[in-house]
Structure 1
């Protein structure tokens, strides 16, 4: 099987074992720090050139170890969690788990499994993958925020959503911030609402448009039957600026 170094990765450290033909040559803890990785590199230089590092992909925790392998041009196998779990179950019925046990088991079953070596790719591919993942995370955040706004407005001022298109715009967020509850509208005047709309939004809006919107908001407020009061904690989560509104 050659020489294999198996590592069980956890937060900030790994448990490492080195095997040669099913015989354990060494084992111990590796701290994910400059000193810890330098000590590991010294040990690797004393081992045969056919050494293969094996560890499971554990998201952010294994990324540091993978970077160490890439920077030092070390051969390594990065196992996905399902493959690692399946391999750890080979030849044993024990369900208990420890870092030491998993590291030893990963090394012992190395010969029985076809573990492809992870080949390094140009940075551009890593950047594209990271950007794609970041884009998906932003999309999910937008969906959650839109759903939260919808649910909150259905409790406090559902008619306000008539102003919105299929997406949440800065102007829509301004309306929510200023008028999260019909009581805030009915306690003032249309003229004051119009002036507040003109000053508070980054969108260029004419005085006639602001006047029309103020009239519509006022009519919606008179129709609305909110499920929560204007002092509800749910409204405070809108991060509204009621003091500025009433002192205007």
Structure 2
């Protein structure tokens, strides 16, 4: 079966994917590398603000024979890397469209205010973001406790890393790539995602009814099942020459 590579979003490292672990079939290879500057790669600050350097750092973690699953900022970065790395068998955009700011979702004014608040008080603003993104979950407070159990009460990345990636949330626009993608693109999100814009909701291939921006917390079994099916379809679609 085609492997899955799970890529986390702003301010959150790869531990966010741990709730899915009990639901993967044994034959499916799943990896969750950290972006440079986060978690196990926290020392690699300078690599992800330039596409070529980011591609060089992530090349071994993002093989062409896999499906890349990007969540939130991770989806924006993974899509950008389609122009830098060998084409994967598919890309999953989880809780994200072609850009972060959009009508009906997070506005550019809101993001600008958030960035200003982050410069004044990085840790408190990061903690506010955790609560903000969980507003669409069916049980936000238990979801926050679960998230804190997974990643702790302080970010694994430095303020400089987080500020750099807020700039990427503001700047990255992948709509041209997604208009003519080099591989299959699957768009998934929670039905109550407070960060997703109207046009991106209409473009979804699947919506998780009992979830917001963090379906890995609210419906891990359903999310794992959907991603496993995408991996199976990618395997069936692969040509003999591209099989590992």
TM (normalized to structure 1)?
Answer: 0.29
Q: Which has the higher contact order (CA 8 A, sep 6+)?
A: 2
CA radius of gyration, larger in: 1
- Give me the TM-score of the superposition, normalised by structure 2: 0.30
